[in-house]
Amino acid sequence: MIPFNKPYISGKELQYIEDAVARGKLSGNGDYTKKCHTFFEQTYGFSKVLLTTSCTDALEMSAILLDIQPGDEVIMPAYTFVSTANAFVLRGAVIRFVDSRTDHPGMDEVAVENLINENTKAIVVVHYAGVACDMDEVQRIAQKHNVPMVEDAAQAFNATYKGKPLGSFGALSAFSFHETKNIQCGEGGLLVINDETLQARAEIIWEKGTNRSAFFRGEVDKYGWVDIGSSFLPSELNAAYLFAQLEESDRIQEQRKKIWDAYYKALEEWSNELGIQLPVLPEFASNNAHMFYINCRDAMQRTQLITHLKKQNVHAVFHYLSLHESPFYQEKHDGRTLPNSDGYTERLLRLPLYYELDPQPVINALLSYDS
């Protein structure tokens, strides 16, 4: 069976873990954590980053940092992962879901403005499949109404909008290093704090509500409990593994891009004939080859295709169930219909995509489906 995903080992992961063990300090914020921080600061020009145990945690930190209170409203796409919403719901927020674009599962930027009112406390964009949202448009709306913007950049490692790295637009941005992402350490994440007024507090929340980081830099003479917080730091074992992947990220990205391009080229004619849509990349967005998805003609075609591929030993999977129709949020949703998001829920199918994949057998299996 060709799996949907296979976490990649680039080479030095175990060596760095051994080294971390030999250094005798395995809790968070050690040498490997700092190496990872430096990588992101230098490669993408982020002014302050903090490694977290997951993207979910980075999003939860964002909700705390923005002081989200019960009843506050947060705007985000309905077609996203649970954590985008959960992080804010944990603080008591009401979620106002936005529909997807017709040409792309990402959120319809223009529809955001209609949902803004005096209770709106944040706009969360999700760069679906690593493809940038229209940041000029979202920033225009956010600035006009003076609402902070957060980027869920979980899938957006190494991707850009008009040449500028994703993760550098939001007041706060969250990346994921879950094993299904381009660069991974099993479970891991990163919070980017672009808003300088939030940087000192971010460190405190990260360190269980203490000013421990400032203490170790010698900025205060004792450390203690100064705010709310939690255990958001990953251990050095995870950071060591992650650093080995970051060092090889150019190679990893290049290989994923090759596979993505092979899929696109081989499937163009086939998809046209069957009424299947291939991914659309707006000209402002780069392609980080996080995902190759196809959008089927209807739900039935997708079901048939999944079964067909399974018979040929290929594991293809659908993606999100729109959050406004989830068992947890359905009753709380404001009732607006979100037809594009529902469409992707029913028709989107993701193909296997990982470093070691030979896409040809998957392509052959797809091309042998013709209805």
Ligand X SMILES: *Cc1c(COP(=O)(O)O)cnc(C)c1O
Supply the minimum distance, in Å, between the C-beta of residue 274 and ligand X.
Answer: 27
Does 81 sit near ligand X (CB under 6 A)? Answer: yes
Q: Residue 301 and residue 67: Cα distance in Å, rounded?
A: 45
The stretch near ligand X (CB under 6 A) out of 91-99, 149-157, 297-305, 306-314 is 149-157
Record the tokens describing residue 193, joined without a space.
């704090």
The stretch near ligand X (CB under 6 A) out of 36-44, 51-59, 237-245, 251-259 is 51-59
Does 97 sit near ligand X (CB under 6 A)? Answer: no
Residue from the set 74, 141, 154, 252 that interacts with ligand X by CB under 6 A: 154
- Ramachandran assignment for 38, one of left (phi > 0), alpha (psi -120 to 50 degrees), beta (any other): alpha
Listed in sequence order, the residues at least 6 apart from 39 whose beta carbon sits closer than 8 Å to its beta carbon are: 243, 246
DSSP β-ladder status, 348-350 and 49-52: unpaired
**Host H or E run for residue 191:** strand 189-193
Supply the minimum distance, in Å, between the C-beta of residue 178 and ligand X.
Answer: 4
- Token match 């992947």: residue? 245
Does 84 sit near ligand X (CB under 6 A)? Answer: yes
Does 178 sit near ligand X (CB under 6 A)? Answer: yes
Supply the minimum distance, in Å, between the C-beta of residue 367 and ligand X.
Answer: 29
Supply the minimum distance, in Å, between the C-beta of residue 340 and ligand X.
Answer: 17
Supply the minimum distance, in Å, between the C-beta of residue 81 and ligand X.
Answer: 4
Does 176 sit near ligand X (CB under 6 A)? Answer: yes
Contacts of range 177-181, beta carbons closer than 8 Å, 24 or more positions apart = 177/55, 177/242, 177/245, 178/54, 178/55, 178/154, 179/5, 179/7, 180/5, 180/7, 181/154, 181/155, 181/157, 181/290
C-alpha angle 213-216-222 in degrees, rounded to nearest 5: 90
Supply the minimum distance, in Å, between the C-beta of residue 82 and ligand X.
Answer: 8
The stretch near ligand X (CB under 6 A) out of 50-58, 163-171, 263-271, 355-363 is 50-58
Does 78 sit near ligand X (CB under 6 A)? Answer: no
Does 314 sit near ligand X (CB under 6 A)? Answer: no
- For 35, 241, 356, the CA distances from 253, given in Å and listed in that order, are 20, 17, 12
Supply the minimum distance, in Å, between the C-beta of residue 289 and ligand X.
Answer: 15
Query: Measured from the CB atom, is 81 or 232 closer to ligand X?
Result: 81
Query: Measured from the CB atom, is 54 or 287 closer to ligand X?
Result: 54
Each residue 104-133 as x (binds ligand X by CB under 6 A) or -, in order, gives ----------------------x-------
Cβ neighbours, 10 Å, residue 243: 25
Does 322 sit near ligand X (CB under 6 A)? Answer: no
The stretch near ligand X (CB under 6 A) out of 78-86, 162-170, 192-200, 262-270 is 78-86
C-alpha angle 167-8-22 in degrees, rounded to nearest 5: 90
Record the tokens describing residue 199, joined without a space.
């940087």
Query: Measured from the CB atom, is 354 or 365 closer to ligand X?
Result: 354
Does 288 sit near ligand X (CB under 6 A)? Answer: no
Does 152 sit near ligand X (CB under 6 A)? Answer: yes
Listed in sequence order, the residues at least 6 apart from 86 whose beta carbon sits closer than 8 Å to its beta carbon are: 56, 59
Does 20 sit near ligand X (CB under 6 A)? Answer: no
Residue from the set 33, 100, 120, 155 that interacts with ligand X by CB under 6 A: 155
Does 56 sit near ligand X (CB under 6 A)? Answer: yes
Query: Measured from the CB atom, is 329 or 365 closer to ligand X?
Result: 329
**Host H or E run for residue 164:** strand 164-165
Q: Which residues of 121-147 are buried (b: 16+ CB within 10 A; e: fewer)?
A: bbbbbbbbbbbbbbbeebbebbeeeeb
Does 80 sit near ligand X (CB under 6 A)? Answer: yes
In the chain, the largest separation of any two C-alpha atoms, in whole Å, equals 71
* DSSP per-residue letters across 239-278: HHHHHHHHHTHHHHHHHHHHHHHHHHHHHHHHHHHHTPBP
Supply the minimum distance, in Å, between the C-beta of residue 187 and ligand X.
Answer: 6
The site for ligand X (CB under 6 A) is made up of: 54-56, 80-81, 83-84, 126, 152, 154-155, 176, 178, 189
